Amino acid sequence: MNQIVIVGTSHHIAPLDFRERLSFSENQLIEAFQLLRKHPDVQEVAILSTCNRVEIYAVTRSKDGCAALSNFLSNYHQIESQQLDKFTYSHQNLDAVRHLFNVTASLDSMVVGEPQILGQVKEAYAQSLAAGATGDILNRLFTKALSVGKRVRTETNIAAGAVSISYAAVELAKKIFQSLEDKTVAIVGAGEMSELTAQHLVKNNVSKVIVANRTYQRAVDIAKRFNGTPLAYDADLSFLVEADIVISSTDAPHYLIDRPSLAEIMKQRKHRYMFLIDIAVPRDIDPEVSKVDNAFLYNIDDLEMVVASNLKDRGQEAEIATQIVKEEVAKFHSRLQILEVNPIIKALHQQFQGVASKELGTCLDKAQLTPKQQKMVEAMTQSIIKKLLHQPTAHLRQTVNDANNDHAQYVHALYEMFGLEQAKDLDTENTD
């Protein structure tokens, strides 16, 4: 039987430096899909790589699927298996479904109720789908997971008062400076996180916003929304001289701000305080920057302190969301189990139809029947087939829905008893 498996890591168990090592760039994702699909045990795969989590979802042919994914991560990222095991988790089948639903419901996020994760999962699924890495099972799983996430947001107030990582970054800045009204903020990068950060900064009356991005037009697009100043990113960092707060969130594969460069900037600033928040994974700012006098560097894990105070207010809504996830997991698991037995039900009907058609053809060739009589015999034959298969089909479906029964043994026995070939394609029945 097919197995749904997950191997991954998140902010719950792994430090930032480990999550950085395990993350996938866009180019690496394509390569990873190709390598994983070549594995004899992996049928389908999807990868979710964000600042807080890296997870590989797969459909495998054996129960050793988790080991296959762990070995891949170890080899691809050159991480010793002992360290990988320390900072990763794995889930199979029902637990895997539950985990993804919790993720899309934002119940597993650093900020419970944060809205970004649903879009991140949607984008990760779209990338996997475009690469031809997913199949029928993962397509169903991710489609339902996204639906669950939307249902949680519609039926609960879990997002009310929720803070995003970017909001938490601004709150931390306010604790350092008390007021942001006379402060200049430089945002490095012009992605979604940067735009959200700019929104929160403007609400807190910052005096000036600088948006620096490698693609100048993108910086212009973001800056105009907040009456900010767009700049083309310059490696000499001269644009940081007037910045009191620096918030960096790019997908650069290397540090954009290092200790020597910032030390020179601080001299030009006459060592006025600078507050830097690095919300990128991999990090944009060298941790050594924290050793520069009057430079205060925080990364995404540091923001957990700011976020913690918001969790209590959403506890009750999280309980409601958990019940929704529980209900949806049970429904999806039931549908998935039924899908697994559809091939044998189809094979049984095909075999019975084949025998009946052959025998009926021989009979009709010999008998002198009127067209009306022929139709009556054909109808009677179909009725016999349905009655013969009704009990085993009903029992099979009942076995699937009974968690205490091992339906895999029952299915195997039917294949053996009737000499059926294992069908590979799932029925296309809707899982809603």
pLDDT in tens, 385-399: 888 888 877 777 776
pLDDT at 220 over 60: yes
CATH superfamily of 3-161: Glutamyl-tRNA reductase, N-terminal domain (3.30.460.30)
pLDDT at 352: 86
Average pLDDT (274-289) is 92
pLDDT at 423: 46
Contact 322, 148 (CB under 8 A): no
- The SS3 of residue 424 is coil
How far apart, in whole angstroms, are the C-alpha atoms of residue 269 and residue 292? 13
**Residue located via tokens 């690095």:** 278
| Joined tokens for residue 191 | 């992605």
How far apart, in whole angstroms, are the C-alpha atoms of residue 114 and residue 94? 25
pLDDT at 367 over 90: no
Write out the E strands in 20-127. Answer: 42-49, 53-60, 89-92
Q: How confident is the model at residue 347 (pLDDT cuts 50, 70, 90)?
A: confident
pLDDT at 344 over 80: no
What whole-number percentage of the chain has pLDDT above 90? 48
Task: List the single range of 112-121, 143-152, 263-272, 286-295 with lowest mean pLDDT.
Answer: 112-121
pLDDT at 241: 94
pLDDT at 255 over 80: yes
Domains of the chain by residue range: 3-161, 165-304, 333-418
pLDDT at 429: 43
Pairing between β-strand 89-92 and β-strand 3-10 as defined by DSSP bridges: antiparallel
| Joined tokens for residue 101 | 């639903």
pLDDT at 19: 94
Please indicate whether residue 363 is annotated as part of the active site: no
How far apart, in whole angstroms, are the C-alpha atoms of residue 167 and residue 72? 36
End-to-end CA distance of the chain: 22
- In a 13 Å sphere around the CA of 61, the CA atoms on its Cβ side amount to 7
pLDDT at 431 over 60: no
The two most distant CA atoms of the chain are separated, in Å, by 109
Q: If you average pLDDT over every residue of the chain, what do you get?
A: 86
Task: Answer whether the bond into residue 392 is a cis peptide, omega within 30°.
Answer: no
Q: Could you report the per-residue pLDDT of 308-343, keeping only the tens digit for each?
A: 665 666 678 889 999 999 999 988 987 777 776 777
Order of strands across the sheet that contains 208-213: 229-232, 208-213, 184-188, 245-248, 274-278, 295-299
Q: Could you report the per-residue pLDDT of 14-65, keeping only the tens digit for each?
A: 999 999 999 999 899 999 999 999 999 999 999 999 988 999 999 998 878 9
Residues contacting 365, CB < 8 A, separation 6+: none
Looking at CATH, the fold of the domain delimited by 165-304 is given as Rossmann fold (3.40.50)
- DSSP-assigned letter for residue 79: -
pLDDT at 430: 43
- Among residues 7, 22, 32, 51, which one is catalytic? 51
pLDDT at 162 over 60: no
Contact 279, 249 (CB under 8 A): yes
pLDDT at 311: 60
| Joined tokens for residue 402 | 């009974």
pLDDT at 247 over 60: yes
Average pLDDT (256-265) is 94
How is 256-324 classified by DSSP, letter by letter?
A: SB-HHHHHHHHHHTTT--EEEEE--SS-SB-GGGGGSTTEEEEETTTTHHHHHHHHGGGHHHHHHHHHH
How far apart, in whole angstroms, are the C-alpha atoms of residue 169 and residue 155? 28
**DSSP β-bridge partners for residue 297:** 276
Q: How confident is the model at residue 66 (pLDDT cuts 50, 70, 90)?
A: very high
pLDDT at 329: 93
pLDDT at 416 over 50: yes
Q: How confident is the model at residue 112 (pLDDT cuts 50, 70, 90)?
A: confident
